[in-house]
Amino acid sequence: MSTLLQGNQLRSLLLGQRVTRAAALQPQTAQAPIFNVVGGKVMVTTLVGEVVVATPATTNTLKVTGNPTSGTDVDWASATSTASKEVGSIITLNPTSGSALIVANAGGGNATLDPYIAQVGTIDLVTSGSAATGTIKWVLTYVPLDDGAYVTVA
């Protein structure tokens, strides 16, 4: 049986371009960019975080914020606890903008296909605590809405 499309080709057709940010600590009681939006608007089709090193029991919340170069920040997700997340836990955006992030243990996660529009600027993580250990890898897929628009790792 022949395969007409490889997995990466099918992903690109369905979700757009992929940008992967290496595993890193969450910002320490701060707002920090994880992706840059350059050259115009993009439609973010998925944003998935995967816990690579378990997060500590330390009280900490995480939210995702669109931070345009010109204009006002908008919370894509409200503050959600990231305390005591096991390796392989999945973090995704909620289909309802401004709602809590969806956080699932390693057994499975929920990736919705409800796009978010990002303006030129950054996509940021905002935390309320200082989780000194525990790392999360982020993967974003997007489709450029403006000619010349693209996303890079911050």
Compute the residue count for the chain. 154
Answer yes or no: is 2 within a domain: no
Q: What is the pLDDT of residue 6?
A: 86
CA dist., res. 6 & res. 11, Å (int): 9
pLDDT digits (tens, 9 = 90+) for 94-106: 998 899 999 999 8
Residue 123's domain spans which residues?
Answer: 7-153
When the pLDDT of each residue in the chain is averaged and rounded to a whole number, the result is 92
Q: What are the residues whose beta carbons fall under 8 Å from the beta carbon of 6, sequence distance 6 or more?
A: none
pLDDT at 131 over 80: no
CA dist., res. 153 & res. 110, Å (int): 23
Residue pointed to by tokens 């699932």: 104
Q: What is the pLDDT of residue 20?
A: 98
pLDDT digits (tens, 9 = 90+) for 21-41: 999 999 988 999 999 999 999
Q: What are the residues whose beta carbons fall under 8 Å from the beta carbon of 98, sequence distance 6 or more?
A: 75, 76, 77, 78
Answer yes or no: is 39 within a domain: yes
Read off the CATH number of the domain in which 81 is found: 2.60.120
Q: Show the tokens assigned to 28.
A: 């320490």
pLDDT digits (tens, 9 = 90+) for 105-116: 988 777 777 899
**Number of folded domains that form the chain:** 1
Answer yes or no: is 99 within a domain: yes
Asked if 25 and 124 touch (Cβ cutoff 8 Å), the reply is no
Q: Coil, strand, or helix at residue 81?
A: strand
Answer yes or no: is 108 within a domain: yes
Answer yes or no: is 123 within a domain: yes
Q: Show the tokens assigned to 20.
A: 């992967």
